[in-house]
Amino acid sequence: MTTEPLIVNAIINGEKIQTEKKIERENPAHPEEIVGYAPNNTREETKRAIDAAYNAFKSWAWSDVDDRITRMKNAIQKIKEATPEIAELLSREHGKALYDAQGEIAISLMWMEFACDHVKKVIEPELKEHENGKTIITHDPIGVVSAITPWNYPISLSTIKIAPALLTGNTMVLKPSPLAPLAVSRVTEIISDEFPPGVLNLVNGDAEVGVELTSNEKVAKIAFTGGTKTAKHIMKAASETIKKMTLELGGNDAAIVLDDFDVNDERALRRMVISNFLTAGQICMIAKRVYVHRSIYEAFVEKYIEAANKWIRIGDPFNPEVTVGPVNNKNQVQYVKSLIEDAESKGAKVIKLGKVLDAKLMDNGYFLQPTLVLGADPHDPIVVEEQFGPTVPILPFDDEEQVIELQNESIYGLTSSVWGEEEHAVKVARRIEAGTTMINTAAVQGLDVRFPFGGVKQSGVGREYGEDGIKSYTETHVINLPNNLELPYIPE
């Protein structure tokens, strides 16, 4: 394992560049260790990257789709070969356990392959012959795409945008989060090297770079994943030039456990625990509040604690026994702690879960032992806010109308899950306001890149993944060829 800090590049028009000012990224498990540095790009450099993408678009838009697929497949092959090194880097800069980092890369590759296999079908021109003549409908690239991504799944949430955008003939400037910029920069460089200069550019930085990317008039589309608050700034910045947008935002996903859920089903309980604590709870689509029918509430809590204590092992992300690593950054630790303390001060019971494998590490790194919160009020911040960390409230409910209302009164609607007898669960699922609802599973365990993913309400606009996620990088162009060129209602 390399411990020398890594220096990654920005990429502007195919050129690898460094800046004097750098973003320093520490290891959340051992904050004294600097994992690497990324360039801290300026607004001027960001403008140059947008100009490069704008100029490259002129020919890239008309390039041959088979050539684009070949280039993307070459990149996929190179990422596969580099996976061990990239997964290690991701784990060290992010804090997620090594198996989790490998899983993120595997999902990214699965999606990139899906996009290669389906792009031709999505952009195939349609010819309609009808009584008034003929119509050709084409699905054309949009232009320069600004992609802005968060720290929690930096590689998969960047490749989810890069693959469909480039394959459909767009060009891109990507800006990852300064809280996990290294591994995604490596992946972006591998992909960019396979494409002509200017097609895929990479800049690093925070809000200042983000503002340029979302307001510059040469940008035609914004593909953003991140917090709902940031998205509100982005919508304002983009409104001057009416940009197209895909927004994948926050969530407060509920898991509803019905009265016919089998509390003795150990595998289902393990899936529930994973859907609460994978990546230390820092996933947009993790189950962040659990409602259990009162008739099974006590038995469920008892069995849940047993399952959680078996699966959760906290420690260094490189320890193969570890399932839950540290939180990514100090601010997030403070925020999650404040939600737990608030609930506790109002009388909720907080139960620590799992086994700590290295107590010394816990005091030094950004660790937070996973907790279960019982007895919170349904409207306490720990229940209604997105915690984005290793804690989960479990609450009892008495009737299904009540729990559906609690689920739907949220400003969010990303994913959700219903646990119980299948037909019954689907009936409840139909009433839920969310982009995805999973039955007897939740979070990434129930994710399928072949189908559209996205949120309703303040969880987002548009869809990624699936054929919809490819089509969202195209504009529909209609070419009409009427057979009667004289218009009957216009006088000679």
Residues assigned a catalytic role: 248
CA pseudo-torsion sign 332, 335, 341, 343: negative
Report the C-alpha gap between 222 and 421 in whole angstroms: 41
> How far is the C-alpha of 405 from the C-alpha of 297, rounded, in Å?
19
Measured over the CA atoms of residue 470, residue 126, residue 170 and residue 211, the dihedral's sign is: negative
Region from 12-20, 228-236, 306-314, 319-327 binding ligand NAD, contact rule CB under 6 A? 228-236
297-303's contacts with Cβ under 8 Å and 24+ in sequence apart are 297/396, 299/263, 300/257, 300/261, 300/263, 300/394, 301/372, 301/374, 301/394, 303/263, 303/264, 303/266, 303/269
Binding mask 438-457 for ligand NAD (x = CB under 6 A): -----------------x--
Residue 413 interacts with ligand NAD (CB under 6 A): yes or no: no
* Between 301 and 443, CB nearer to ligand NAD: 443
d(CA 283, CA 298): 27
Does the footprint of ligand NAD cover residue 251 (CB under 6 A)?
yes
Is the Cβ–Cβ distance between 171 and 145 less than 8 Å? yes
User: 436: which 2 tokens?
Assistant: 């995805």
Contact map string, positions 144 to 183, toward ligand NAD, x by CB under 6 A: ----xxxxxx---x-----------------x-x------
Find the binder of ligand NAD among 60, 277, 367, 388 (CB under 6 A). Answer: 388
Q: How far is the CB of 227 from ligand NAD (least distance, A)?
A: 3
Count other C-beta atoms under 10 Å from residue 480's C-beta: 11
The helix-helix angle for 207-215 and 228-239 (nearest 10°) equals 40
Spell out, one character per residue from 185 to 224, where the chain touches ligand NAD: x when CB under 6 A holds, - when not.
---------------------xx--xx--x----------
Residues 6-45 as x/- pattern, contact with ligand NAD by CB under 6 A: ----------------------------------------
Question: What pairs with residue 395 in β-bridges?
Answer: 291
Query: Is 249 an interacting residue with respect to ligand NAD (CB under 6 A)?
Result: yes
The residue within the footprint of ligand NAD, chosen from 414, 434, 438, 449 (CB under 6 A), is 414
State the minimum distance, in angstroms, from the CB of residue 469 to ligand NAD.
Answer: 11
Q: Whose Cβ is closer to ligand NAD: residue 157's or residue 296's?
A: 157
Whole-number minimum distance, CB 274 to ligand NAD, in Å? Answer: 17
Q: Nearest CA to 415 among 466, 473, 457, 450?
A: 457
- Candidate list 225, 275, 387, 416; residue touching ligand NAD; CB under 6 A: 225
Residue nearest to ligand NAD (CB): 210
Token pair of 433, please? 């306001």
In 3D space, the residue among 243, 305, 357, 278 whose CA is nearest the CA of residue 100 turns out to be: 278
Residues at the contact surface with ligand NAD, assessed by CB under 6 A: 148-153, 157, 175, 177, 206-207, 210-211, 214, 225-227, 230, 233-234, 248-251, 284, 386, 388, 414, 455, 460
